[in-house]
Amino acid sequence: MIRYISLQNCPFDPGEELCKFRSESIGAIASFTGLVRSENEIVALSIEHHPVMTQKTLEQLCDMVITRYHLLGVSITHRYELLKLGEPIVFVAAASVHRKAAMEAIVYMMDRLKTDIPLWKKEIFADGTSRWIEQKQSDVDRSFSW
Amino acid sequence: MKISYFAKTREIIGRDYDIIHFPTDIRSINDVVKYLSAKGEPYSIAFANQDALRFALDNEMAKSDVSIENIQELAIFPPVTGG
């Protein structure tokens, strides 16, 4: 079983993260990478986390998704502190025997990440001002739909 | 008890945490929020919309009506926006 969780304040390469899945029993790997995009004229993104709860809830999410989808491996990497435009914010990957479980697992993990994990995003603008991002009702609805 | 604040809540309060000895009639998270809000700003601003607050007791998410008995730390923060 591959179970990899990383909360980090430095950039990461999603390709390298994918390479951590190495097993002859794995038949499918699905992954998702979320990036900082240039929306609302932001120049950077800042992410705050809860030092204890964030790690703990990510571990619980991994355990839950492994059981729910009978996965052979799961990986979650999430950034915190300051991120530049274009940098990866989050990477999730799931490995399974067949593709359906892996693909459904990453959708489930991302929906849970949006509502269950203590992380908070803040938009940073060119003039030095900033704004906390509010939770979207659509994210809550998706999370409750599982 | 240690009351920790995160994200927007932390910014409004102006510090990471408070250490507060509550009167014995403060029994639940709701009681804590009402008690602090009654002290005025910045708590009254930070806690103005309690529906937009989330809570954790000793690092476990908790509903606002849960007892704080034997709890070391209450964390107060806005709904999460990770991913």
What does the pLDDT look like over A4-56, one tens digit per residue?
Answer: 999 999 999 999 999 988 889 999 999 999 999 988 889 999 999 998 999 99
Parent domain of A105:
2-138
Q: Is B83–A120 a contact, with Cβ atoms under 8 angstroms apart?
A: no
Q: How confident is the model at residue A134 (pLDDT cuts 50, 70, 90)?
A: very high
CA of residue B54 relative to chain centroid, distance: 8
Helical ranges in A1-129 per DSSP H: 14-18, 53-69, 99-116
Smallest Cα distance from A130 to chain B, Å: 11
CATH code of the domain in which A88 resides: 3.90.1170.40
Q: Quote the longest CA-to-CA distance of chain B.
A: 40
Q: Tell me: the pLDDT tens digits for B39-82?
A: 999 999 999 999 999 999 999 999 999 999 999 999 999 999 99
ipTM of the complex: 0.92
Q: Tell me: the pLDDT tens digits for A95-127?
A: 999 999 999 999 999 999 999 999 999 999 999
Q: Which domains does chain B have, with CATH numbers?
A: 2-77 (3.10.20.30)
> Is residue A146 one of the residues assigned to a domain?
no
Q: Is B81–A89 a contact, with Cβ atoms under 8 angstroms apart?
A: no
> Is residue A66 one of the residues assigned to a domain?
yes
> Is residue A124 one of the residues assigned to a domain?
yes
Q: Is B6 on the interface with A (CB under 8 A)?
A: yes
Q: Which long-range contacts (CB under 8 A, 24 or more apart) does B15-21 make?
A: none
> Is residue A145 one of the residues assigned to a domain?
no
> Is residue A144 one of the residues assigned to a domain?
no
The total number of structural domains in chain A stands at: 1
